[in-house]
């Protein structure tokens, strides 16, 4: 009888996990593509809301160990990319990438995107 209770609890827990996955609408599920100009224009609001942004373009220059210049057709912005967020495949300034991350805005330093992931556009 005790074993049957454990199996029932396990089945209910597995079903709950499956239902949670089927209803996922969070980070990355339906994120719209932003452009650099809009990110810069709305940086303060985006920083306060902790909203994720998704931009597509090119990493054109390394500023220091984990800070880079990112460019799309509307402008350029600093992007902080830690080593653990770097893709496994090497890329350069001619490789189109998608960056997902949060906007960090500071009145004196301006704005940057803190990357959560970097995806090489295929």
Domain boundaries, the chain: 28-120
Predicted structure pTM score: 0.73
Tokens of 40: 């810069």
The CATH code for residues 28-120 is 2.40.50.200
What pLDDT is recorded for position 121?
A: 84
| Burial class for 96, CB neighbours closer than 10 Å (0-12, 13-18, 19+) | middle
What pLDDT is recorded for position 53?
A: 96
Per-residue pLDDT of the chain (122 residues; tens, 9 = 90+): 665 555 545 554 545 444 444 444 455 456 789 999 999 999 999 989 988 999 999 999 999 999 999 999 999 999 999 999 999 999 999 999 999 999 999 988 899 999 999 999 87
What pLDDT is recorded for position 3?
A: 57
């Amino acid at each position: 009888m005790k074993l049957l209770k454990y199996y029932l609890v396990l089945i209910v827990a597995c079903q709950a996990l499956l239902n949670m996955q089927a209803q996922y609408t969070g980070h990355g599920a339906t994120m719209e593509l932003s452009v650099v100009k809009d990110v810069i224009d709305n940086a303060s609001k985006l920083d306060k809301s902790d909203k994720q942004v998704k931009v597509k373009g090119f990493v054109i220059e390394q500023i220091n160990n984990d800070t880079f210049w990112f460019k799309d057709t509307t402008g350029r912005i600093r992007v902080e990319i830690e080593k653990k967020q770097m893709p496994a495949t090497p890329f350069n300034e001619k490789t189109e990438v998608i960056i997902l991350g949060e906007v960090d805005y500071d009145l004196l330093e301006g704005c940057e995107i803190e990357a959560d992931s970097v995806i090489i556009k295929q």
